[in-house]
Structure 1
Amino acid sequence: MGVLSLKLFYTKGGVAEVTPSLAEAEADVQSLVEGAMEAMLGVRFLASEYSTGPAHGGRIDSLGLDENGAPVIVEYKRATDPGVINQGLFYMAWLVDHRTEFQALVRERLGTTAASQVLWSTPRLICIAGDFTRYDLHAVREHSRSIDLVRYRLYGEHHIALETVAASVLGRTKAPTRIRRVGAAGTLPAQRAPQAVAYLASAVDALLLGLGDDVKKVRRQQYDAYQRLRNFACVTPRQDKLLVYLKATPAAVDLVPGFTRDVTGVGHHGTGDLEVRLRSEEDVERAVELFRLSYAAA
């Protein structure tokens, strides 16, 4: 694996390249990420160096809970370590066998509601390292667990870059060959609304999953989330439309009444402050650029 291709330049008083570097110690990377885990990974921090007990004999670098309520293990390596995935899966097995203990931790740190909504169907492993081997990348793509391999680089004293280099892809469906017209004049006929909404949902599913090889789909009772490291879209069906909540910044978008809405501070299922309402194939087509914008921001 090569180093990050990003080049960063300092331009005040001349132009000088800021060269990437690795941390002096694994703990330095861990400290940086744990200090801003929600902003960097979309994960609420729960615990550091969590002991798995004398029988298991290990310490999980970081424990957290993601935006959809899935348990998250984060393991760090300063440079390249061919054992990082196996180590993480070792801890994952312990976590799945100790659900009550994890939920007690969530209850203590985040409250009763969060503890009651832990999503055990998709626990996640995020490995952050200086680099990974080609065998690591192949293993992740073949594995049935949710695993993200994230490469880091430090730029000077105040910048860290994170790049997802491989992710296990769960929840993918076959994309339809085209979006079928579901109604005239941008509406859904009342007698066919449920079937039409279902078809729109299938088309949107294919579009969102097709944005990148690192996209994963997570099903919750109230919505379907599409995530990279963080959610970038949450889809909720209604009787006559689809509601899609995106991570795109509403202020950066020209809002169109009846199509897009700023829901910052407004209660809704899923995550994201930009609501997109889809009632027809035309709506889906004009939402594609918003999907891409949100994907890029995640």
Structure 2
Amino acid sequence: MVRRLRRAAPSRRAAGQRRVEAGTEAMLGIRFLASEYPTGPWHRGRIDSLGLDENGTPALIEYKKGVGSGVLSQAVSYLSWLDSARHEFEALVKEKLGSEVAESIDWRNPRMVCIAAGFSLHDRVAVHRLRERIDLVRYRVFEGGLLSLLLIESTPGSTRSISERRQIREREVTAGAASKDGKTSAQATATAGAIPSCLQELYAELDEALTVWGEVEVAQLRHYIAYRRMVNVASVIFRPKHEAILVYLKIDQDTVELEEGFSRDMRGIGHLGTGDLEVRIASAADLEKAGPLIRRAFEAA
């Protein structure tokens, strides 16, 4: 059970919070940085957990024992603190994860994760009116101490200024949005020409294959397009010179029979995106062959 001990010493933190912090990367796609982090005299609070998510985005986590009443106002307040504490956050990342990671932080859309036993209907509706990226996550503790996290509501957020929003809209996919003709944001972007022309048709089919598995958030990041739920499930990168699309999936590579020219184990090999199974898609036949692997990645997410 998650207890709310805002000013407790680390040794007295709730067991549930400690368990989440020990597994933030596996459960939430967030690298843990600090616990009970003070926000200073103006905001007068302590952020339960501070981290950096798998896409290089600052992430804040708050825990509530019961129904997360008032969680949205607290989330917006802490995101406001983060906006004024960039140098402080960068110094923390540099200390914990190194200079290279600190220099590549993506500040465009910080992430707030609110974990509670439940959320009010008003909070679940109101979160979609906010421009911040906020995940409402419900926890359950089952017999034997098994902890389960379930994403209840999520808003993709937006950039912080009107000018930035306009620039990003011109060149990137806006997560979760839809075009006037009903296409997904990714498909609309391909039609508009942001995707290499030689790959637009193939990418439209891939996008459909990646979004058919229920609620999926699509986000254009600096170097790749992420398809995610609680964590990234797939990352897409374009290789127009080779007329191919690379898809990185989170699958246990030891359970996959690799095929030269189609799939590759990327463990220990640096690459953009997340997920260590690389799948090369250059034709409709490749996409059909990749279908079972995409399904496995979403079933495991």
Fold shared per TM-score above 0.5: yes
Q: Name the SS for the 1:162 alignment partner.
A: strand
Residue of structure 1 in register with 2:254 after alignment:
251
Q: What is the aligned counterpart of 1:145 among 114, 125, 132? A: 132
Q: Name the SS for the 2:92 alignment partner.
A: helix
**Structure 2 counterpart of 1:72, one-letter code:** A
Residue of structure 1 in register with 2:214 after alignment:
212
Q: Give CA deviations for 1:87-124 in whole Å, capped at 9, x if unaligned.
A: 11110111022211111111111110111111111210
**Given the superposition, is the C-alpha separation of residues 43 and 149 from structure 1 closer, same or farther in structure 2, using an over 3 Å criterion?**
same
Q: State the distance in 1 between where 2:266 and 2:2 align.
A: 43
Q: Name the SS for the 2:137 alignment partner.
A: strand
Deviates more, 1:259-268 or 1:282-291: 282-291
**Given the superposition, is the C-alpha separation of residues 24 and 67 from structure 1 closer, same or farther in structure 2, using an over 3 Å criterion?**
closer
| 2:2 and 2:17 in contact (8 A); partners too | no
Q: Name the SS for the 1:65 alignment partner.
A: strand
2:97 matches 1:96: no
Q: Name the SS for the 1:131 alignment partner.
A: coil
2:251 matches 1:273: no
Q: State the distance in 1 between where 2:109 and 2:135 align.
A: 13
Q: Name the SS for the 1:148 alignment partner.
A: strand
2:148 matches 1:161: yes
Q: Where does structure 2 lack aligned partners over 5 or more consecutive residues?
A: 5-13, 157-173, 188-194
**Structure 1 counterpart of 2:273, one-letter code:** G
Q: CA deviation at 1:250?
A: 1.9
2:280 matches 1:293: no
Q: Give CA deviations for 1:211-256 in whole Å, capped at 9, x if unaligned.
A: 332x223333322222212111111100210000000222223333
Q: Give CA deviations for 1:127-157 in whole Å, capped at 9, x if unaligned.
A: 1111111222212233322111111111234
State the TM-score, normalized to the length of structure 1.
Answer: 0.80
2:63 matches 1:76: yes
Q: State the distance in 1 between where 2:211 and 2:100 align.
A: 30
| 1:29 and 1:78 in contact (8 A); partners too | no
Q: CA deviation at 1:85?
A: 1.8
Q: State the distance in 2 between where 1:55 and 1:146 align.
A: 23
Residue of structure 2 in register with 1:56 after alignment:
43
| 1:77 and 1:130 in contact (8 A); partners too | yes
Over the residues paired in the alignment, what is the CA RMSD in angstroms?
Answer: 2.1
**Structure 2 counterpart of 1:227, one-letter code:** R
State the TM-score, normalized to the length of structure 2.
Answer: 0.80
Deviates more, 1:152-161 or 1:43-52: 152-161
**Given the superposition, is the C-alpha separation of residues 142 and 255 from structure 1 closer, same or farther in structure 2, using an over 3 Å criterion?**
farther
**Structure 2 counterpart of 1:258, one-letter code:** G
Residue of structure 2 in register with 1:222 after alignment:
223
Q: Give CA deviations for 1:178-220 in whole Å, capped at 9, x if unaligned.
A: x9xxxxxxxxxxxxx942213323332343244332x223333
Q: State the distance in 2 between where 1:125 and 1:194 align.
A: 33
Q: Name the SS for the 1:132 alignment partner.
A: coil
Q: Which has the higher helix share?
A: 2
Structure possessing the higher relative contact order (Cα contacts under 8 Å, 6 or more residues apart): 1
Q: State the distance in 2 between where 1:91 and 1:264 align.
A: 36
Identity of aligned residues (%): 44
| 1:103 and 1:115 in contact (8 A); partners too | yes
**Structure 2 counterpart of 1:284, one-letter code:** L
**Structure 1 counterpart of 2:3, one-letter code:** A
Q: Name the SS for the 2:82 alignment partner.
A: helix
Q: State the distance in 2 between where 1:153 and 1:50 align.
A: 25
Q: Name the SS for the 1:276 alignment partner.
A: strand
| 1:43 and 1:65 in contact (8 A); partners too | yes
Deviates more, 1:166-175 or 1:267-276: 166-175
Deviates more, 1:131-140 or 1:114-123: 131-140
Alignment: residue pair count: 260
Which has the larger Rg?
1
Q: Where does structure 1 lack aligned partners over 5 or more consecutive residues?
A: 1-22, 180-192
Q: State the distance in 2 between where 1:36 and 1:50 align.
A: 18
